[in-house]
């Protein structure tokens, strides 16, 4: 029983850990939403958006930065972007403008 408690405590510590610089973090695209909707990362982190839908295609678009839209992500496809500078990076899905998310980069 003590082993179970130790394992549970270790799992909680891992899940509660902040995202460190240089890591790749996953954002799921499923059920017409980005999950997590707000993602907090350290500078130097790469974010990978993965389309977990079964039918719909999506994209990732950082309009405020004036960057080009990602390629269309069909089911199973992914797209990555690295974030080096602190700030807020709001984004939308190109074909589904009500799908939104934010990457918050802070030291």
- CATH number of domain containing 63: 2.60.40.420
The predicted model scores a pTM of 0.79
Tell me which residue range forms the domain holding 48. Answer: 19-105
- Tokens 């909680």 belong to 12
The closest of 13, 18, 52 to 34, measured between CA atoms, is 52
Q: Does 52 reside within a domain? A: yes
What's the total number of domains in the chain? Answer: 1
Q: Are strands 38-41 and 100-105 parallel, antiparallel or unpaired?
A: parallel
* Within-domain flag for 4: no
On whether residue 72 sits in a domain, the answer given is yes
Cα separation of 54 and 57, whole Å?
A: 9
Binding residues for Cu cation: 58, 93, 96, 99
Mean pLDDT of 48-58: 97
Q: What does pLDDT average to over the chain?
A: 87
DSSP string, 47-75: EEEEE--SS--B--B-GGGTPPPPPPB-T
Give yes or no for residue 6 having a pLDDT over 50.
no
Q: Is residue 12 one of the residues assigned to a domain? A: no
The one-character DSSP state at 93 is: -
Binding residues: 58, 93, 96, 99
């Amino acid at each position: 029983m003590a082993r179970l408690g130790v394992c549970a405590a270790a799992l909680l510590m891992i899940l509660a850990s902040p995202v460190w610089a240089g890591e790749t973090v996953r954002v799921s695209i499923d059920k017409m939403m980005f999950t997590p909707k707000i993602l907090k990362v350290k500078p130097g982190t790469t974010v990978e958006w993965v389309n977990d839908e079964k039918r719909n295609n999506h994209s990732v678009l950082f309009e405020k930065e004036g960057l080009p839209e990602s390629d269309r992500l069909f089911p199973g496809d992914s797209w990555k972007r690295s974030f080096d500078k602190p700030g807020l990076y709001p984004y939308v899905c190109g074909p589904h403008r009500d799908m939104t998310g934010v990457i918050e980069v802070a030291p």
